Homo-oligomer: A and B are copies of this chain.
Amino acid sequence: MKRRPHSRRQGEAENAGREGGRDERKLRTRRALLDAALQLLEGERSFSSLSLREVTKGAGITPAAFYRHFSGMEDLGHALIEDSFRSLHVLMRQAREGALPSTHMIRASVATFLDHVAAHRAHFRFIAKERFSGSSVIRMAIRKEIRLWIGDLAVDLSRFPALAKFSAEDLQMLAGMMVNIVIGGTEVLLDTPPADTEALQRIYRLTEKQMRLVLLGAALWDSNNARADERSPPSSTARSRAG
């Protein structure tokens, strides 16, 4: 299955110019396949509509060689998901280890994330497209990643004093809403041309604003929490007002 590095000769490990070792070359065309798929996805196409043959054509190899790297298009789809989330994971880990709650925290977090999205448009476009449209196994993989993200965020949120009284369930909900807001911003960002900096700034500000509104609601939440939410009896007439 896996090829062991086998004591690469030490001198030429970093020349990395035109040609390379055998596994290096293999990795290169593998990446070419992934890139070709992403590039085809940049347009109108959806992943499930693009064919193995055009991906290989985009990567500059023959169709049969595809099977040296992936068992089929679905396999390639999985690899794309992994690639897409890997860089995001790095970002999140840095954010978690690095800067602790600063001033401008909301603004900084939103900007950091959306910058990342803007820098990896193709990956996030793929995720956005496949989140609801792809095969169920791919959809579930994406959903799992988002769920993990929400869970991590909920843990982070639990450390804020203002949210101390949140139940675990409500923390999860709050984290879910925040993630949803950011995902919404992502989706709008993805079909805004990168050149339109004014529109991009508007998206940043809107996302940030939405985040602030939700957190504003969260600050009051626990006091209203016991109204009709927890264990509402089925078909009850719990009195609740809003508006």
Contact = CB atoms under 8 A, between A and B. Distances in A.
A224 B229 contact: no
Interface of A: 44-46, 48-49, 101, 103-107, 128-136, 139, 160, 162-163, 170, 173-174, 176-177, 180-181, 184, 187, 191, 201, 205-206, 209-210, 212-218, 220-221, 224, 228-229, 232, 234, 237, 239-243
B187 A132 contact: yes
Contacts of A240: 103-104, 106-107, 212
A200 to B, nearest CB: 12
Stoichiometry, copies per complex: 2
Contacts of A106: 240, 242-243
B215 A44 contact: no
Nearest to A101: B243
Contact of A218 (B49, B136, B206, B213): B213
Contacts of A217: 213-218, 220
A205 B187 contact: no
Given A48-B48, A105-B242, A134-B46, A216 B205 contact: no
Given A49-B46, A132-B128, A242 B229 contact: no
Contact of A220 (B101, B206, B220, B232): B220
Contacts of A229: 205, 209, 212
Contacts of A105: 241-243
Contacts of A48: 44-46, 48-49
A212 B232 CA distance: 15
Contacts of A205: 229, 232
A126 B133 CA distance: 9
B243 A215 contact: yes
Q: Which one of A104, A173, A201 has the highest number of Cβ atoms from chain B below 10 Å of its Cβ?
A: A104
B177 A210 contact: yes
A173 B134 contact: no
Contacts of A176: 210
Contacts of A206: 173
Nearest to A131: B132
A19 to B, nearest CB: 38
14 contacts: A48-B48, A104-B240, A106-B243, A132-B187, A133-B133, A139-B191, A170-B209, A173-B206, A174-B213, A177-B181, A177-B213, A209-B229, A215-B243, A220-B220
